[in-house]
């Protein structure tokens, strides 16, 4: 699954998540969008099986941003955590 995290300073702007942005992201293959924030940064997490994180510039533009003001983080590992051992199962 392609995953991309966009980091936007809260000083730059608000994140416009409207129908136009959603449609543009869907055309890029994004099927899931999550937001996280603190007092300085907004993190926009984009995921999708058909999403290519190399299209980060198109994703940034779909959200109304410019590549110069938004940092991008690409996933380098994805792990699944199992509760099998704590529920009486065995681990390999």
What's the whole-model pTM score? 0.78
pLDDT mean for each 10 residues of the chain (92 residues):
89 77 94 92 92 90 87 83 68 60
pLDDT number for residue 80: 80
pLDDT number for residue 7: 92
Closest by Cα among 40, 44, 52 to 9: 40
Are 55 and 25 within 8 A, CB to CB?
Answer: no
Residue at token pair 């199992």: 82
Q: Which CATH architecture has domain 2-87?
A: 2-Layer Sandwich (3.30)
pLDDT number for residue 31: 95
SS (H, E, C) the chain: CEEEEEEEECCCCCCCCCHHHHHHHHHCCCCEEEEEECCCEEEEEEEECCCCHHHHHHHHHHCCCCCCCEEEEECCCCCCCCCCHHHCCCCC
pLDDT number for residue 79: 77
Domain spans of the chain, in order of start: 2-87
């Amino acid at each position: 699954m392609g995953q991309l995290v966009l980091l936007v300073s809260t000083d730059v702007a608000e994140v416009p998540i409207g129908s136009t942005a959603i449609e543009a992201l869907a055309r890029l293959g994004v099927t899931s969008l999550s937001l996280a924030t603190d007092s300085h940064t907004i993190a926009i997490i984009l995921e999708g099986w058909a999403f290519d994180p190399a299209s980060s510039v198109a994703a940034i533009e779909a959200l109304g941003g410019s590549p110069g003001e938004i940092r991008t983080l690409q996933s380098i590992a994805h792990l699944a955590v199992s509760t099998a051992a704590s529920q009486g199962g065995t681990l390999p």
